[in-house]
Amino acid sequence: MPRFQTTAVHAGRDDFNRLCVHAPPIDLSTTYPIPDLDTGSASFDALIAGEPSAANPIYARLHNPTVARTESAIAALEGTQACVAYASGMAALAAVLMARSRHGRHVLVVRPLYGTSDHLLGSGLCGVEAEFITDAGQVAARLRPDTALVVIETPSNPTLDLIDIRATVEAAGAVPVLVDSTFATPVLQRPAELGATYVWHSATKFLGGHGDVIAGVVCCDQAHAAELRTLRATTGALLHPLAAYLLHRGLPTLTLRVEAAQANARELASRLAAHPAVSRMFYPGLPGARGGHLVGTQMSGPGSLMSFDLRGGHDAAARAMARVKVMTAAVSLGATDTLIQHPAGLTHRMVPEAARAAAGITPGLLRLSVGIEHVEDLWEDLAQALAD
């Protein structure tokens, strides 16, 4: 079997020789000619039932070849039977929640996690009742007969806590576990190998990697994927083929980008930890990090996201964001450039204030998504932004 780096370059390209192409083709058709009615009817039945393909795609809401190639590539990277792609990460999460609501209303959620995920789970919009806990060690004790899903994010957003996936799966027993692995990517962590039923990514981030595509993916086995495909076809939450092309195009450099950004992050985190303006660091690669023992086992490295609390609180955080020159003050993460943002005021603004405080999301907390620029340029930019 090819090694990960080779798979990242070649996955999803199995039909390229037959098609006589070198770059992924973009199929923009919304509808497909039907050679005969029997074939068309059989294809429609197969696709609406969640089959990965059929003799005829029928209609782009049911199937698109460009999207299917991208899904195949990402499934290969995660080591799962299937991948189902959506128009955004939130559309992907909503699909899983709707699918699981047929099996029970109760969903157990470990905080912290991405703010909009927190909001969607707590809203009840997808037919589930979320119970939030702050310690994955409580999972077994909080299960109910109607528990349909356990949701964890590791590393967590924005405090970079690491949760033991295998232990959580064991605690959940027969209840499926969904892991948001956006921060880690399959370069550093593959939750399905540890027993997770669903591996979810905001593919907008590292998988796309260039800040020019919004997408979400769920990697899982074929049985769960069929249910998700049916929901996608019915609700219309499909990924556009141009977005799928951009996502596929970013995968060959995924390993290079993640490793380069991680090398920068290791250096910046150690320097920030010693900076007088910083009261607390959140980075899995530093001593004392919550779940840090999982680096080198569950995760092959600590990644390139970090957060740090400024002694001057909200005003100091706002001042630092306004002062950066090399970095970009913006939400999102996983792009080639370094992004800095304020969780309490932006990505986690919809999370209840008490829950933010309990998770350590303070007014002085800044989150840094480290890019692949030269590390000294990044440090000089940070140093001047944090200066008195």
Same domain, 135 and 97: yes
Same domain, 245 and 313: no
Catalytic residue among 118, 161, 164, 180: 180
The pLDDT tens digits of the residues spanning 35-92 come to: 999 999 999 999 999 999 999 999 999 999 999 999 999 999 999 999 999 999 999 9
Same domain, 271 and 248: no
Determine the Cα–Cα distance for residues 346 and 331; give it in Å rounded to an integer: 7
Is residue 135 among the annotated active site residues? no
Domain boundary among 201, 221, 252: 252
Residue type, 244: A
Same domain, 231 and 331: no
Catalytic residue among 205, 229, 232, 266: 205
The 106-110 sheet, strands edge to edge = 82-86, 216-220, 198-202, 177-180, 147-153, 106-110, 129-133
Residue 1: the pLDDT is 78
Same domain, 184 and 261: no
Determine the Cα–Cα distance for residues 251 and 170; give it in Å rounded to an integer: 31
CATH of the domain at 186: 3.40.640.10
Answer whether residue 19 shows pLDDT above 90.
yes
The pLDDT tens digits of the residues spanning 134-165 come to: 999 999 999 999 999 999 999 999 999 999 99
Percent of the chain with pLDDT over 70: 100
Residue type, 314: H
Residue 257: the pLDDT is 98
Is residue 245 among the annotated active site residues? no
Domain boundary among 201, 230, 252: 252
Average pLDDT over residues 339-355: 95
Catalytic residue among 13, 61, 100, 257: 61
Residue 222: the pLDDT is 98
Q: Provide the residue range defining the domain that includes 177.
A: 4-252
Average pLDDT of the chain?
Answer: 97
Same domain, 98 and 132: yes
Is residue 205 among the annotated active site residues? yes
Same domain, 223 and 288: no
Residue type, 144: R
> Is the CA virtual torsion 369, 375, 380, 383 positive or negative?
positive
Same domain, 234 and 267: no
Determine the Cα–Cα distance for residues 231 and 380; give it in Å rounded to an integer: 49
Number of domains, the chain: 2
Same domain, 179 and 262: no
Same domain, 248 and 261: no
Same domain, 224 and 259: no
Residue 353: the pLDDT is 92
Query: Confidence band (pLDDT; 50, 70, 90) for 115?
Result: very high
Catalytic residue among 32, 86, 114, 245: 114
- Listed in sequence order, the residues at least 6 apart from 135 whose beta carbon sits closer than 8 Å to its beta carbon are 110
Average pLDDT over residues 10-22: 95
The pLDDT tens digits of the residues spanning 246-291 come to: 999 999 999 999 999 999 999 999 999 999 999 999 999 999 999 9
Domain boundary among 252, 279, 305: 252
Strand partners, 83: 219
Is residue 367 among the annotated active site residues? no
CATH of the domain at 365: 3.90.1150.10
Q: Is 166 exposed, middle or buried (0-12, 13-18, 19+ CB in 10 A)?
A: middle
Answer whether residue 388 shows pLDDT above 90.
no
Same domain, 273 and 231: no
